């Protein structure tokens, strides 16, 4: 029974993708983190080290990381001061990294765009757009699981697909649970030969192929309770 619900969710997720995009919620750091931006840089850096378990091998390396950290704090302050911005910036675990380090360790190389196969039918809007609320947060409606951390591996395609399925499943039967990103990452070998794209485990992939995998597999399991979400 569970598998049938999950398969249904996988099918529905394609139809709901456009509407889900419209209600994407902004991510706001804690007020405490924002208040700390005005603290003494040395004090702020020491707290940053404690909070994120940072340790540097030499005095010189710590001094270099402090300079990077201080520069990033100034960037965060400047971004918060911009008028008309809905985003809010605070201290994160990446504050002692340069932009180049972040790009090399977290971001993925550019890939060819996948050619999503066209399907008959599609999503049909019901109701009037003007009746839609000015804002909508799916967390307030029990359709979003806890935040996961993929680390530095290229599994965003699997996390996004599974997260969407989790939300659709919650809307179908009212059950919100974390499903197995590991299963999709390890087992989905789907490919789209038209332009030689495919799902390549920790080296990147495409959500639409992940949905195809879940449908063909007959469902998806729950996440292993003792397995970290960023390993597979």
Average pLDDT over residues 86-109: 85
In order of 10, 23, 118, the CA distances from 122 in angstroms are: 14, 19, 9
Tokens of 30: 């804690």
The region, left, alpha or beta by phi > 0 then psi within -120 to 50, assigned to residue 44 is alpha
HSE-up (13 A, CA, CB side) for residue 132:
13
Average pLDDT over residues 107-120: 64
Looking at residue 16, its pLDDT comes to 36
Residue 191 DSSP code? E
pLDDT digits (tens, 9 = 90+) for 38-52: 678 888 999 999 999
What domains sit in the chain, N to C, each tagged with a CATH number? 2-25+137-217 (3.90.70.10), 31-105 (1.10.287.2250)
pLDDT digits (tens, 9 = 90+) for 56-77: 999 999 999 999 999 999 998 8
Looking at residue 122, its pLDDT comes to 67
pLDDT digits (tens, 9 = 90+) for 181-199: 888 888 877 665 554 555 5
pTM across the whole model: 0.59
Residue 81 DSSP code? H
């Amino acid at each position: 029974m569970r598998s049938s619900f999950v398969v249904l969710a996988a099918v529905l997720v394609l139809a709901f993708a456009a509407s889900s995009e419209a209600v994407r919620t902004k991510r706001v750091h804690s007020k405490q983190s924002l208040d700390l931006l005005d603290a003494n840089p040395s004090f702020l850096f020491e707290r940053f080290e404690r909070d994120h378990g940072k340790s540097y091998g030499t005095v010189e390396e710590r001094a270099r990381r402090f300079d990077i950290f201080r520069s990033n704090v100034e960037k965060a302050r400047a971004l918060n001061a911009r008028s008309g911005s809905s985003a809010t910036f605070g201290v994160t675990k990446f504050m002692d990294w340069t932009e180049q380090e972040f790009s090399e360790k977290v971001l993925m190389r550019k890939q060819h765009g996948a050619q999503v196969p066209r399907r008959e039918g599609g999503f049909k809007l019901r109701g009037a757009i003007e009746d839609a609320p000015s804002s909508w947060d799916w967390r307030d409606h029990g359709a979003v699981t806890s935040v996961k951390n993929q680390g530095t591996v290229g599994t965003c395609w699997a996390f996004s697909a599974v997260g969407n399925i989790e939300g659709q499943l919650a809307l179908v039967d009212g059950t919100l649970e974390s499903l197995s990103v590991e299963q999709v990452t390890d087992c989905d070998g789907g490919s789209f030969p038209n332009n030689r794209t495919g799902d390549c485990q920790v080296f990147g992939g495409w959500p639409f192929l992940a949905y195809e995998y879940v449908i063909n597999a007959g469902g998806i399991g729950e996440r292993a309770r003792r397995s970290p979400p960023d390993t597979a």
